[in-house]
Amino acid sequence: MADTTTTPPATDDGTTALGTPPEAPAAAGTPPPSDSSTTPPTATPPPETPPATPPPADAPAWTAEQLTIPQRSAFTSEDMRVIAAEGAAMGLTKEQTQAMAESRAEVITGLRVQWFADAQADPEIGGEKFPQAVQDAKQGMAWLFPKEDERKAMQEWFDKTAMGNHPGFIRAMARIGSALREDRPVAPTSGGGVGNERKSSVDVLWPSKT
């Protein structure tokens, strides 16, 4: 049977009778339209390396080893490390911390000189009695601290603080040493005399505990 289907004639403007314009032929080399459903995902950039953390603003740019022990002081390297830690905590520079150490040493030196002069002028241990008082004080120290390492440690502390020159300290040690030299009990009684029993160093320093 013959095909009776007919194609409507084209109009003058190129449209079909049904009003649907014909598809224009694709130009050579034109890529086909992309399918949005198949668009590849965007690659995630690698994470950026964080910048190096700068040191805290208050971190000292110096060490205790850079400080100098003040002259005429009994400070040790350990003392300078303590002073350096204090300076760092206060946000001081090396120069400011060194000045702080020098100032402390100057104050202690001044006390040492002043207390020594006061001891020499003391009515109980001063004047012509001073040389013997010093010897008695040393004997008192030896009695209070019979162990050499303890006695050395205390002597270092007295030197650092200048307390070894304080007239009150020399008087106390000289009284003990004098009692030992004269073979007398070293603990005074409440009436101001000397007791009949020899007491320990703890009893002498803290008589209320007896």
31 vs 19: CA distance, rounded Å = 28
61 vs 28: CA distance, rounded Å = 73
Q: Is the dihedral of CA 146, 147, 153, 156 positive or negative?
A: positive
Per-residue pLDDT tens digits for 26-73: 555 555 555 555 555 566 666 666 565 555 555 558 888 999 999 888
Domain assignments of the chain as residue spans, ordered by start: 63-115, 121-210
- Could you give the C-alpha distances from 1 to 5, 6, 41, in angstroms and in order? 12, 15, 56
pLDDT at 182: 83
Contact call for residues 59 and 93 (beta carbons, < 8 A): no
pLDDT at 128: 96
- Name every residue whose Cβ is closer than 8 Å to that of residue 161 and which is 6 or more positions away in sequence: 108
| pTM beyond cutoff 0.75 | no
pLDDT at 84: 94
90 vs 84: CA distance, rounded Å = 10
pLDDT at 61: 81
180 vs 186: CA distance, rounded Å = 7
Q: Is the dihedral of CA 154, 158, 164, 167 positive or negative?
A: negative
- Parts of the chain with a pLDDT under 70: 1-60, 184-210
Closest CA to 186 of 137, 129, 150: 137
Fill in the amino acid letter for 182.
E
6 vs 49: CA distance, rounded Å = 72
Tokens 């000189």 appear where? 113
Contact call for residues 177 and 140 (beta carbons, < 8 A): yes
Tell me the DSSP string of 30-78. Answer: PPPPP-GGGPPPPPPPPPPPPPPPPPPTT--SS-GGGS-PPTT----HH
By CB atoms closer than 10 A (0-12, 13-18, 19+), residue 24 is exposed
